[in-house]
Structure 1
């Protein structure tokens, strides 16, 4: 277990936490989103040294949000997309001069709704360069671009139940997961509002899909987290049956994250308050076939993977994680944000 865990009380439940994409240097800034307040916030953070010469996060700007912040994704160095439980999606800009601030660049109000006036939560979004795809409790899929105000495409009845997660596999293909555990691949080039492929998260137990992540360099390799704490792995090139399944966390998986530069490292967090680092470096070094992710086969066998708990289990849900090089950020319902430095990658 990593001992270098630094916590900072922030007086709000953290739903999302994301490193800023720094230019030519280590990350020095990040943003957080909150939930469960009358007025929530997206906050902009930097690091300053305290009296003991230790770096601690300091809030330098905040942007009010009506509704819960449900997702945030950076699309450039200073622009990111944020969604809310009231069906709104915004492109926001981090401004540093003449003073730190968060500015609204564009907004799509009520882009998720049950009727013309009743908002539905935008439960998840994914980005591919300047393109944005959103899903919500209304079963709707919206394809947006940061460069125009109107949606590029909307699939009104993409699903008959709530969609919980979405991921861009490539520019023309997305993967969605719903509350019943149905995973659907959508070809955005098709004029038909029907999925190209439908697969099940689990044949044994019915559980919702809560999070999706694809391998950074091999996007056909997908890992999905379930409401029962399970992890399921697919190779979408070959078949619709999972490569492997694992009963991982004891409760719902909040987020799954591959390390961008070292993808043999996978990170998962759960509403059970657990944060795990899955490492397969040794197997990866021995495997000369770099065209396939055979190490992911081992996710079904913990004996072949090094699984490390990065912190003492919290008594509250860990909702969000992000990593830059060897530094992990995570946010929790205990109204604190945490930083773990010098992760063994």
Structure 2
């Protein structure tokens, strides 16, 4: 835990995201943003962890994240994503979607554009629950079951799928440039092809049995057909959307709701999850020859595999490990990333060797030496 810093910020943190770094550089991220919820005044805040150029353990890890700038946010920040290095998109409990611009030279945040009440019921606002973007395109989903497409360079709304879902859409992710995937409150995954004008999904996948709400989703960065989801029961599910309408692997991860799941963007044999139970887990796949046959993390080693067969085209052992959930041969290892916590870990993000998470305990934790 030597490389973990805790920063107490006097507000409940709902979302954390690293500011993107240039893909051509080997630098570690230095700036991250947070959004708050359930506070009298909610805020979007930018923080710096400084230039940590130290390679030996214990050097350069005593500095807390430093406040750079902040801006009041109308409603709870339910989600946000960086559009580019200078703009962040937020999703609000008021139903609004806002573009904030970050001026690094002045260390200031300003509102560049806002779509107020983008998500709504006939007579009241509906929370906007999720946002994703691929500049200049922005896509949001909401409690109203609506999917909305915008462009950062246009004031109007590009497209609305009004009745995309009869239940709350909790999270969205891109599968391809023209395809998105949504997860909802009755345990369904829906794939939408934006090349089609139809307002019906191209494919529906679901958890069998109980309709357990799904709260989060992430796509494997290299294998676009592999996605991971987490839900109300704390289970980590891995899906191959080409092969089956049910998950390939289910893994007991947390004892309460899983709020976020993230593959490492450049080392996707590493995956991270966080939960209402106050834990943050690092999942790592490896070949049997690389690690012992036991798992770290006690209660996290109970796993159920729906398929012992490797999927067609999935000939990489690391990919197969996610799909088979083969813990009996030591294919998955879990590690707790935080000191003992009691309040919810609502959000996490990982970039390079840096991980940040935010909690209901009004704390931000930063780890600058994630072993990936």
TM range (shorter): over 0.9
Distance 1:314 1:132 in 2: 35
Distance 1:274 1:62 in 2: 27
State the secondary structure of the residue aligned to 1:219. Answer: coil
Report the equivalent of 2:88: 80
Report the equivalent of 2:158: 152
Distance 1:187 1:213 in 2: 17
Deviations for 1:109-153, whole angstroms, at most 9, x for unmatched residues?
1000012x5111001112223211111111111011112111111
Structure 1, unaligned runs of 5 or more? none
* Shift of residue 259, structure 1, vs aligned partner: 0.7
State the secondary structure of the residue aligned to 2:343. Answer: coil
| Conserved 8 A contact 1:113-1:138 | yes
| Conserved 8 A contact 1:140-1:156 | yes
The root-mean-square deviation of aligned C-alpha atoms, in Å, is 2.2
CA pair 284-136 structure 1, distance change in 2 beyond 3 A: farther
Give the TM-score normalised by the residue count of structure 1. 0.93
* Shift of residue 96, structure 1, vs aligned partner: 1.4
Distance 1:193 1:91 in 2: 26
| Conserved 8 A contact 2:236-2:252 | yes
Deviations for 1:259-317, whole angstroms, at most 9, x for unmatched residues?
11111000000011110000114469899934982121243637421111111341100
| Conserved 8 A contact 1:209-1:227 | yes
User: Which one of the candidate residues 231, 244, 261 is aligned to 2:236?
Assistant: 231
* Shift of residue 185, structure 1, vs aligned partner: 0.8
| Conserved 8 A contact 1:90-1:106 | yes
Give the TM-score normalised by the residue count of structure 2. 0.86
CA pair 300-119 structure 1, distance change in 2 beyond 3 A: farther
| Conserved 8 A contact 1:322-1:328 | yes
Report the equivalent of 2:351: 324
| Conserved 8 A contact 2:240-2:323 | no
Structure 2, unaligned runs of 5 or more? 52-58, 292-309
CA pair 31-79 structure 1, distance change in 2 beyond 3 A: same
User: Which one of the candidate residues 126, 130, 136 is aligned to 2:136?
Assistant: 130
CA pair 284-146 structure 1, distance change in 2 beyond 3 A: farther
Distance 1:30 1:158 in 2: 32
Report the equivalent of 2:116: 109
| Conserved 8 A contact 1:275-1:313 | no
CA pair 224-87 structure 1, distance change in 2 beyond 3 A: same
Distance 1:162 1:94 in 2: 31
Once the two structures are superposed, the pairs formed by residues 42-121 of structure 1 within 5 Å of their partners are 42-47=44-49, 54-97=62-105, 99-115=106-122, 117-121=123-127
Aligned residue pair count: 339
* Shift of residue 12, structure 1, vs aligned partner: 0.2
Distance 2:137 2:346 in 1: 25
Distance 2:277 2:209 in 1: 22
Deviations for 1:234-282, whole angstroms, at most 9, x for unmatched residues?
1112221211112221111110011111110000000111100001144
